[in-house]
Amino acid sequence: MKAPIAVALDAPNLSVAKEWAKQVSPFVSTLKIGLETYLRDGKDSIQSIREISDCDVFLDLKLHDIPATVAGACKSVLGLNPKYLTVHASGGKDMIKAAAEAIPQTLIVAVTILTSIDEKNLQEIGFKNPANKSAVDLALLAISAGARAIVCSPQEVSEIRRNVPKEIVLITPGVRPLGSNANDQQRIATPEEALTNGADLLVIGRPITSADDVGKAAKLISEEVIQFI
């Protein structure tokens, strides 16, 4: 049984990303490929990683632009057939609708509030409400526009779970096993806390990929996560 973990392949080059993918694939359900890899190594990098792994592909581009531009960007990755593709919920209904219509076979994932942002940062960029309320409002807006998955911090996931249909996939970054370094994440939780609060998929990067033995770290964390499913 694979754990519901999306390993963030934020590697310094494609060779390392592929090696990480190979090592973690027996233990996790999903590989998350972000802007760093996509911009540096291009579309072919996605296909080359897919060829060595049976995991779902989570294309984390966090699109945020006018609706026509986002629709065009989504169409440009149609051939990659990712299971998940991220957009920013703050882009608004029209933008999210355009994304969902442009790539209907992919789950459009609306990112609510980045886990690197704390309450002070949130106020500085103009949000009137605290993170918990703001994340719920953004999630509901995104779902009404066609998003089928939501990214939120583990600290907001329980409230969002109570307010959205059960078929909506809730994805939580900022997940740190006990004893792990928080790094640049602010609103974090353990795998047990995230799953208990309603998360469906956990994004875990550095606790796995910074380990001396990446495969072993993936195995151990996966075993920890499976206990709580």
Determine the length of the chain. Answer: 229
- The whole-angstrom separation of Cα 7 and Cα 25 is 9
**Catalytic one among 2, 22, 62, 93?**
62
CA distance 26 to 163: 34
- Active-site residue 216, yes or no? no
Counts of helices then strands in the chain (DSSP H, E): 11, 8
Rounded to an integer, what distance in angstroms lies between the CA atom of residue 55 and that of residue 63? 23
Nearest-CA neighbor of 85 among 20, 96, 117, 156? 96
Give the max Cα distance, the chain.
Answer: 46
Residue 42, both tokens: 């291009």
Question: Which residues are tagged catalytic?
Answer: 62
